[in-house]
Amino acid sequence: MSEHIPVLVQEVLSFLLPKPGDTLLDATLGHGGHAKAFLDAAPDTHVIGIDADSAALEIAKQTLASYGDKVTYVHGNFYELPDVQVNAVLFDLGIGSHQIADETRGFSFTSPGALTMQYGEHAALPDSNLSSINELTQKLHRYPDAEDIVNSLSPTALAELVRVYGEERYAGVVGNAIAEGRPFASAARLAKAVEAALPAFYEKGRINPATRTFQALRLAVNRELEVLEKALPAALDRLLPGGVIVVISFHSLEDRIVKRYFRSEAQGCICPPQQVVCICSHKPRLEILTKRPASATEEEAKTNPRSRSAKIRAAKKI
């Protein structure tokens, strides 16, 4: 298994500014790379690390073993954050290298194993309030993994899935190709079917032709956008005044949700424009620290290719 290198570590620390006694709620602990950097940055700091993937937690426990009781491990989905008050919250929304390498999950384009695409044990997840995807989300509730989705949905529904969650311009072509080629039982065969259906000049060769389709399936199976939508308000509630929330995203759908939420909590009145006198009593709760999302330096992008698509946003609780 290739080493999982955390992205934007220095940028994360520059926003969190760890101080002695601070507690970080790492909502996506992964292999523990960001948590380790936080613990090393200031004495007597503490990390509460959450991950839905039990395998990731075991790796993190090895990475952070020397820190002993400075780390509390929580196995669960980050939309159910522990009811604690903390100085910082971090979300790293990327997929782990061990998850891609695990052929039993089907995240890799070359995986001959089961086509599940589940991060962790399948569990009840929240409903969505995102109007653009809510109807589609409801259609997908009955399908627990990627194999069920690709082998069950109509060509039209598959196209909608890939268009909405994958932002794939050839969504109709992909939907038809999947319907015509099923049943599918492996990620490798699905990737080949999608690649064969798309134009030879697809994205000028910059990404694997199945990238957007696999993204759509992964987001749908794990309800990632809905989970993020629920987790951000919970994170803000758990921040102490002056505390900072940092989010690292890897595609525009996630970044859009974070951007919209930060803006909504950084403004005062949220009454509709036609409301002359404010009746909402809404007060700003956040100060946005990143007017535009920061990204990896050219040097980091070269040494850690995973960081090339990473964007980081940060905000401070007022």
Of 222, 248, 279, the last residue of a domain is 222
In-domain check, residue 2: no
Residues 160 and 205 in one domain: yes
Give yes or no: residues 255 and 283 share one domain. Answer: yes
Q: CATH number of the domain that 23 lies in?
A: 3.40.50.150
Mean pLDDT in residue range 213-242: 95
Neighbours of 266 (CB within 10 A): 15
Do 274 and 209 lie in one domain? The reply is no
Q: Are strands 71-75 and 46-51 parallel, antiparallel or unpaired?
A: parallel
Q: Please give the pLDDT value at position 5.
A: 87
141 part of a folded domain: yes
Q: What is the pLDDT of residue 241?
A: 98
Q: Rounded to an integer, what is the distance from CA 170 to the centroid of its chain?
A: 24
Do the Cβ atoms of 86 and 73 come closer than 8 Å? no
| Rounded-to-integer distance, Cα 269 and Cα 263, Å | 12
- The reply to whether 60 falls in a domain is yes
Indicate if 229 and 185 belong to the same structural domain.
Answer: no
Which pTM value belongs to this model? 0.92
Tell me if 119 is assigned to some domain.
Answer: no
91 in a structural domain = yes
Residue 103 in any domain: the answer is no
**What confidence tier does 63 reach under pLDDT thresholds 50, 70, 90?**
very high
Alpha helices, DSSP H, located in the chain = 9-16, 33-41, 54-63, 97-101, 134-140, 146-152, 155-166, 171-181, 187-197, 211-222, 224-238, 252-266, 298-303
Among 2-11, 27-36, 168-177, 246-255, the least confident range:
2-11
Residues 33 and 76 in one domain: yes
Q: According to the model, what pLDDT value does residue 127 have?
A: 56
C-alpha–C-alpha distance, residues 245 and 235, integer Å: 8
What pLDDT score does 203 carry? 86
Residues belonging to the binding site for S-adenosyl-L-methionine are: 32-34, 51, 78, 92, 99
196, 222, 248 — which closes off a domain? Answer: 222
Residues 16 and 90 in one domain: yes
pLDDT tens for each residue of 96-149:
888 988 888 999 999 998 899 998 764 455 555 554 555 677 777 778 899 999
Whether residue 231 sits in one domain with residue 203: no
pLDDT given at position 271 = 87
Q: Which of 1-10, 90-99, 193-202 has the lowest mean pLDDT?
A: 1-10
pLDDT tens digits along 18-48: 999 999 999 999 999 999 999 999 999 999 9
Q: Mark whether 241 and 300 lie in a shared domain.
A: yes
**Could you tell me if 175 and 158 are in contact, meaning their C-beta atoms sit under 8 angstroms apart?**
yes
Number of domains, the chain: 2
- Strand-pair partners of 250: none
Known binding positions: 32-34, 51, 78, 92, 99
Same domain, 13 and 73: yes
pLDDT value for 123: 47
Q: How is 106-173 classified by DSSP, letter by letter?
A: --STT--SB----SSS---------TTTHHHHHHHTT--SHHHHHHHS-HHHHHHHHHHHH--TTHHH
Q: How far apart are CA 308 and CA 266, in angstroms?
A: 28
User: Omega of the bond prior to 183 within 30 degrees of 0, cis?
Assistant: yes
Residue 239 to residue 250: CA distance in whole angstroms: 24
Q: What is the full DSSP assignment across 204-229?
A: GGSS-TTHHHHHHHHHHHHTHHHHHH
Q: Which residue range(s) make up the domain with 214?
A: 127-222
92 and 21 in a single domain? The answer is yes
CA distance 111 to 3: 18
The last residue of a domain, from among 197, 222, 247: 222
Q: Both 149 and 213 in a single domain?
A: yes
CB neighbours of residue 133 within 10 Å: 21
